[in-house]
């Protein structure tokens, strides 16, 4: 398998955590988002959305969308699973993952921020307000859900798909100045995950294309 991604991309980070939790080896090909490589013709033939990540399977298929990639990993390598067996817990894991992937992350994506700054004249204050209102608002809802479903992790005491999505979202939120200080459950889970070897391996700073700040 080969993962096409970018060290600081939260969607790529989700897939790296899932790969690490499952103990799967893979090749990695960096796609430099700051250089616009995601919009180059070579990459677009693999992933017409112009977004990372993409997973190339051993059979040469290209899978797009982080949640679809993680779904493929779960189906093709079921053990260890990262989805709870119990139907309600499983639905909650998907709900948290989708709340993050569909409601929180798109508002802080690179192309969204670039458009608002360059074509809508957003200054830093307007940008921070946007990020807090939309991404932060979606995260505040996740905090409430996790208060019902969580234990050591988002769903009970075992890392799941929900944590694969939460940790990169928290990383991005802290990077972009979204105020998550009142989200006590999410902060506690985020801190716990930092000490888990799979999450540590998947951390952006530990990737081959990481740039030291
Ligand atoms: N829904 C997509 C989101 C992918 C996405 O937003 N990727 C970002 C990085 S986290 C990206 O490639 N941004 C490039 C750009 O905005 O031009 C997924 O889950 O894979």
* Ligand 1 atom closest to the CA of 36, numbered from 1: 17
Residue 171's pLDDT is: 98
Atom of ligand 1 nearest to the CA of 67: 19
Specify the pLDDT at position 30. 98
pLDDT of 213 strictly over 80: no
- At residue 160, the pLDDT reads 98
Was domain 87-199 assigned CATH 1.20.1050.10?
yes
User: How does the average pLDDT of the chain come out, rounded?
Assistant: 97
pTM summary value: 0.97
Q: Give the residue whose CA is nearest to atom 10 of ligand 1.
A: 9
pLDDT digits (tens, 9 = 90+) for 160-185: 999 999 999 999 999 999 999 999 99
Average confidence (pLDDT) over 143-151: 98
The 10s digit of each residue's pLDDT in 115-128 is: 999 999 999 999 99
Q: How many angstroms is it from 171 CA to the middle of ligand 1?
A: 15
CATH 3.90.1150.10 applies to domain 2-80:
no
Cα–Cα distance between 168 and 163 in angstroms, integer?
A: 9
What pLDDT, in 10s, does the model give residues 98-115? 999 999 999 999 999 999
Distance 86 CA to ligand 1 centre (A): 30
Pocket of ligand 1 (CB under 6 A): 9-11, 33, 38, 51-53, 65-67, 101, 109-111
> Would you say residue 92 has pLDDT above 80?
yes
Ligand 1 centroid distance, CA of 81 (Å): 25
Give percent above pLDDT 70 in the chain. 100
182 exposure class (CB count in 10 Å sphere: 0-12, 13-18, 19+)? exposed
Distance 20 CA to ligand 1 centre (A): 20
Question: Residue 52 Cα, ligand 1 centroid: separation in angstroms?
Answer: 5
Q: Which residue CA neighbors atom 14 of ligand 1 most closely?
A: 51
Pocket test for ligand 1, best of 52, 63, 119, 166 (most atoms within 8 A of CB): 52
Please tell me the distance between residue 178's alpha carbon and the centre of ligand 1 in angstroms. Answer: 18
Peptide linkage before 11 cis (omega within 30 of 0): no
Domain ranges of the chain: 2-80, 87-199
Residue 212's pLDDT band (cuts 50, 70, 90)? confident
Q: For residue 101, report the distance from its CA to the centre of ligand 1, in Å.
A: 10
The string of pLDDT tens digits covering residues 24-77 is: 999 999 999 999 999 999 999 999 999 999 999 999 999 999 999 999 999 999
- Is the pLDDT at 134 greater than 90? The verdict is yes
Which of 36, 99, 109, 207 has the most ligand 1 atoms within 8 A of CB, as the residue to mutate? Answer: 109
């Amino acid at each position: 398998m080969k993962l096409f991604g970018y060290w600081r991309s939260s969607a790529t980070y989700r897939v790296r955590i899932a790969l690490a939790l499952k103990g799967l080896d893979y090749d990695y090909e960096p796609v430099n988002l700051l250089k616009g490589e995601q919009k180059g013709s070579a990459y677009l033939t693999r992933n017409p959305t112009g977004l990372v990540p993409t997973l190339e399977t051993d059979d040469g298929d290209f899978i797009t969308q982080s949640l679809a990639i993680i779904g493929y990993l779960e189906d093709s390598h079921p053990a260890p699973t990262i989805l709870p067996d119990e139907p309600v817990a499983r639905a909650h894991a998907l709900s948290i993952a989708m709340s993050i992937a569909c409601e929180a992350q798109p508002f802080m994506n690179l192309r969204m921020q670039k458009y608002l700054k360059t074509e809508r004249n957003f200054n830093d204050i307007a940008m921070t307000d946007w990020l807090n209102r939309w991404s932060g608002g979606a995260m505040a809802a996740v905090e409430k859900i996790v208060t019902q479903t969580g234990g050591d992790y988002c769903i009970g005491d075992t890392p799941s798909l929900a944590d694969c999505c939460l940790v990169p979202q928290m990383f991005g939120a802290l990077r972009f100045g979204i105020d998550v200080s009142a989200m006590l459950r999410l902060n506690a889970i985020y801190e716990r995950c930092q000490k888990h070897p799979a999450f540590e391996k998947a951390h952006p700073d530990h990737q081959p294309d990481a740039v030291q700040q």
